[in-house]
Amino acid sequence: MACLLLSSGLRVGRLVTAVLLTTALSAHAESAGNEQAQAIEHARRATVGILSETPLERQAGYQSKLSVRGSGVHLQHGYIVTARHAVEKDAGNKTVLPQQIVVLTGNLSELTAQLVGGSAYLDIALYQVDDAHRAQLPAGVGFAPHEAIAGDPVFTVGYPLGWGPAITYGRIGNPNVFLPTTDTRLLQSDLAACSGNSGGGLFTSDGTLAGIMHAIIKTEQSQADHRCSQLAFSVPATLVQRIVVALMEGRQPGFSRLGIQMAPVRIGTRWHVRVGEASGPAKEGGAQKGDLLMAINGTDITDPAQLKNYLMERTLPGQTVTLSIQRGDQKLSLSIVLGGA
C-alpha cells in the first residue's frame, strides 16, 4: 500500500508539473507572439509610400490621382531611406534625384521631404521630412545589430503595385548574391515582392532593418510594370547604415580602392583570382601582374566579387591591409595602404 501511495503521489506530482510547464510554455509563446506582432506593427507604421509626383509636379497639375511608385522607411528625426531608383526622375538623357518628394504615411498623411543625398555607387537615397511635420511620423526603426545569415526569418513592408502597406514573410536564402544592377552584394530572400516594394525595408523578426529592397527576379507577363516574384534582393543593412551615416554628416560615403584589375584563372581543377593589372595602392604595395590573390587580412579570396565585397564592407580608405599572394613558387605578404574610390 505504501508503494502504491508513493506511486500515485508521483503521478500527481508529474501531472501538476506538466500542467505548470504547459501553462508556462503557453504564456511564453503568447508573449513571444505579442512581441512579434508589435515588431510587425511598428515596422508597418515606420513604412511610407513614395508618391509618383514631386511637389512641383503636383503644383503644376501633373497628376491628380493618388499614385505610389515605391516605398521607404523612417529611421529617426524625419530621415527617410529608400532605393535611389524608386525616386529618380528623367532629366534629358540622364536620371537625377529630385530635391523634394512627397511621402504617404500609414494614416494617409502626405508629407514633403527634402533631399539629403544619395549614393550613385549603390541604390540608396536619403530624404528628410520638414521639421514642422515630423510629429506626424511614428517612431523610427533601427538597423539590425547582426548580419543576416541563411535561414533567418524576415518580413517586408511596402506598396507592391502601388497599394498597401502590404506585409509578406519569408527567410534569408543566399546572403551573398551579386547582380549587375548594383555594385554591392545583395541579400536574397524567399518572400513575395512586386514593383513598388523597392525602397521598403527588409526586417528581422524583431523589427530591425536587415536591408533595403532593391530588386526582384521578374516573371514573364504582358504588363511589364506590374510584375511580382518570390525571389527578392536587398542591399544589406551594414552598407545602408554606412551610407546613411555619411549622408547625415554631410559627406559622401567613402569606399576603399585597392587598385587591382582582377582576372579568373584556372590552375588544375580549381579557379583562382589573378592580378590582371596593378595600379595605385596595390602597385605601390608591391603587387604585380600575374600574382595569385590568396587572402586579405586572413580572409580567403574566393572570387573577384568576394574581394570587392570585403573592401566595401570591412575597410576604409587609408587603412592598411595585408594581402597574401602567390608569385610563382613564393608565398608573400604585402602591406597595402588603401586608397579612396
Instruction: Report the CATH number that the domain containing residue 315 is assigned in CATH.
Output: 2.30.42.10
Q: Which of 197, 232, 248 is the last residue of a domain?
A: 248
Task: Give the pLDDT of residue 8.
Answer: 42
Question: How big is the chain by its Cα radius of gyration, in Å?
Answer: 26
Q: What is the pLDDT of residues 292-322, one digit of tens each?
A: 999 999 999 988 888 988 898 889 899 999 9
Q: Which of 136, 168, 193 is the last residue of a domain?
A: 136
Q: What is the pTM of this model?
A: 0.79
SS3 state at 52: coil
213 within some domain = yes
Q: How many Cα atoms within 13 Å fall on the side-chain side of residue 161?
A: 10
Which segments of the chain does DSSP mark as H helices, in order?
2-46, 55-59, 237-248, 280-284, 304-314
Q: What is the pLDDT of residues 195-231, one digit of tens each?
A: 899 999 999 999 999 999 999 887 555 445 557 888 9
Question: DSSP assignment, residue 254?
Answer: P
3 has pLDDT over 90: no
Task: Give the pLDDT of residue 36.
Answer: 87
Is 158 found in the same domain as 94?
no
- Segment 67-83 mean pLDDT: 95
**Distant-in-sequence, close-in-space partners of 15: CB < 8 Å, separation ≥ 6:** none
Q: Which of 228, 248, 268 is the last residue of a domain?
A: 248
320 within some domain = yes
Is 166 found in the same domain as 102?
no
Question: How many CB atoms within 10 Å of residue 239?
Answer: 24
Q: How many Cα atoms within 13 Å fall on the side-chain side of residue 326?
A: 11
**For the chain, what's the residue count?**
341
26 within some domain = no
Tally of structural domains, the chain: 3
Is 330 found in the same domain as 264?
yes
Task: Give the pLDDT of residue 17.
Answer: 53
Task: Show the domain range for 110.
Answer: 46-136
11 within some domain = no
Is 260 found in the same domain as 237?
no
pLDDT band at 340 (very low <50, low <70, confident <90, very high): confident
Is 199 found in the same domain as 243?
yes
185 has pLDDT over 50: yes
C-alpha cell of residue 74: 523612417
Is 295 found in the same domain as 223?
no
27 has pLDDT over 60: no
41 within some domain = no
14 has pLDDT over 70: no
Is 65 found in the same domain as 118?
yes
Is 241 found in the same domain as 262?
no
Is 198 found in the same domain as 266?
no
Q: In what order do the strands lie in the sheet with 201-204?
A: 166-171, 153-158, 201-204, 209-216, 232-236, 185-189, 177-178
- Segment 320-329 mean pLDDT: 96
For residue 86, the domain's CATH number is 2.40.10.10
Task: Give the pLDDT of residue 19.
Answer: 58
335 within some domain = yes
Is 310 found in the same domain as 240?
no
336 within some domain = yes
Q: Which amino acid would we find at residue 310? A: Y
Mean pLDDT for the chain overall: 86
Q: Are 99 and 116 in contact (CB under 8 A)?
A: no
Is 260 found in the same domain as 242?
no
Is 75 found in the same domain as 113?
yes
Task: Give the pLDDT of residue 29.
Answer: 52
Task: Give the pLDDT of residue 22.
Answer: 58
Q: Is the backbone peptide bond immediately before 55 cis, with ω within 30 degrees of 0? A: no
18 within some domain = no
